[in-house]
Amino acid sequence: MLCDRAWIARRDKLDQCLELQLFNRDCEQAETWMAAREASLEDSVDGSGDSVEALLKKHEDFDRAIASQEEKISAINNLANKVYDLGYLHMLYVVICTVQNGQPVVGV
């Protein structure tokens, strides 16, 4: 019985760690995507004289890209809620602060 409880506790801890790592991965992917889109937007307003039609096409492409990312962002939000519900609020805070400072997430 005691051994069974220990294995269950260990499995639960590993499940929680997996959820946190999935959250980290998804956040990193979202951040990379947003940085690429930001660079694209900056290129659009560099004064290169793009035609209105070309700028409208870029805007429409950007709208489609955002729409395609909404599901992923929602999944990240759901995963953050799950990590929070699992009682890893402190670890989630550390991860968010680390990512915002541009540091790799290590040993959380």
User: What pLDDT, on the 0 to 100 scale, is given for residue 52?
Assistant: 77
Per-residue pLDDT at 108: 43
The per-residue pLDDT of the chain, averaged, comes to: 75
Contact 34, 73 (CB under 8 A): no
Answering whether pTM is above 0.85, one says no
- Asked if the structure places residue 81 within a domain, the reply is yes
Is residue 44 one of the residues assigned to a domain?
A: no
> What's the confidence (pLDDT) of residue 103?
54
CA distance 20 to 18: 5
Query: What are the residue ranges in the chain where pLDDT is below 50?
Result: 105-108
Residue ranges making up the domain that contains 83: 2-38+71-100
- Which of 25, 38, 41 is CA-nearest to residue 80? 25
How many structural domains compose the chain?
1
